[in-house]
Every structure is written in C-alpha cells, then in structure tokens.
Amino acid sequence: MTDHDLDYLDGNAAAGLLDEVFAADVTTARGRCASCGDESVIAIAHVRPVSDGLVLCCSVCEGMLARVTDRGGRVRLDLRGLVWLELGAGDLDAS
C-alpha cells in the first residue's frame, strides 16, 4: 500500500450528499468510466473531499467520474467522467 492509496474514502462516503439529489441509492448504481471503460458500482469509487463537495474517481484509473458540489443549498453535479450511470428499477424510491 502506498501513501496515495490512503488519500481517499470509498464511494459510500458520497451517499449522504447524493441522497439529496437522487431518490435512489446511487452507491448501488453502475457506471462506465469515460477514461478507461471500467464498469462498476459507484460504491467502489475513490472519493476525495474538496472544499465545496466531493470528487468521485475511478478505482481502476483514478480518472474523475463525477464531482458533487454544494453551493449554499444548491447541489451541482458534474458527471462528464461517466459514459453512463445506470440505476435499477429497485433502486428508485417509489414514494
């Protein structure tokens, strides 16, 4: 293990902030990294806190998958690092 391996949390660390945006458990969603093509669940992404939110990085290539920022009650999502994000019908909140 290197020092670089210790500077992130796993994708579950983004659950609280992402719950504010999606009516689903996004950590169980699957996505494809635009940089390397890896397909995996968001829960295994490497999450790095930044001053105004979180950056989710691919666990394979470390490319940015998404950035979630909180700007005084307004949440901004930058998903350009994901080719797609797939939620299962069972992930959606029916309420």
CA torsion 12-40-57-26 (nearest 10°) is -40
Q: Which residue has the tokens 């939620």?
A: 87
The two structure tokens encoding residue 27: 């950590």
Q: Where are the domains of the chain?
A: 3-88
Q: What is the pLDDT of residues 29-47, one digit of tens each?
A: 999 999 999 999 999 999 9
CA torsion 34-68-61-41 (nearest 10°) is -80
The answer to whether the CB of 56 falls within 8 A of the CB of 64 is yes
Q: What is the pLDDT of residues 47-88, one digit of tens each?
A: 999 999 999 999 999 999 999 998 888 889 999 999 999 987
The two structure tokens encoding residue 10: 């796993």
Select from 6, 1, 10 the least CA-distant residue to 57. Answer: 10
Q: Does this model's pTM top 0.85?
A: no
